[in-house]
Amino acid sequence: MRSKPGRYRKPTALEDAVSARVKELPYGSESEYVLGLIRYDLATRKDHTVTAGIAELPRSEQDKIDDEIARAYAAGESIGGSWFEHRLKDAVEAVAEGKDVPKSRVARELLKRIRK
């Protein structure tokens, strides 16, 4: 693999949650998990309004947010939603309403399979 070592900061409040998530998905290592997040982000190009906003806050405020994220993860809570779920919803709505094929390639493929 062509790669360069990188460095990032991981809040201690999220350490246990990150370790658990790496195993849950499963990735072979935390490095592979971070690489998976990078690949997913670059492939989906989703907005980062919330997380970029958190990064601009003072560290003390970030710590409070990280504590809450860690608590929610440990409790099995999730805000849910995903890029794929939105594409699936678009395709299903198009079928139900007789709309044109959605612009998303994934939605078009789903639509073809749904209409069979």
Q: What is the pLDDT along the chain (116 residues), one digit of tens a residue?
A: 799 999 999 999 999 999 999 999 999 999 999 999 999 999 988 888 888 888 999 999 899 999 999 999 999 988 776 666 666 677 677 777 777 655 566 555 666 666 65
- Domain residues for the domain of 26 are 12-74
68 with 28, same domain?
A: yes
32 with 62, same domain?
A: yes
* Domain presence at residue 87: yes
94 with 111, same domain?
A: yes
DSSP 102: P
Nearest-CA neighbor of 18 among 3, 31, 5, 2?
Answer: 31
Q: How many domains does one find in the chain?
A: 2
Nearest-CA neighbor of 106 among 96, 94, 97?
Answer: 94
Rg of the chain's alpha carbons, rounded to an integer?
Answer: 18
* Domain presence at residue 2: no
- pTM value is 0.66
Q: Are 84 and 104 in contact (CB under 8 A)?
A: no
* Domain presence at residue 5: no
* Domain presence at residue 7: no
pLDDT at position 77 is: 86
* Domain presence at residue 36: yes
32 with 64, same domain?
A: yes
CA atoms of 73 and 27, how far apart (whole Å): 18
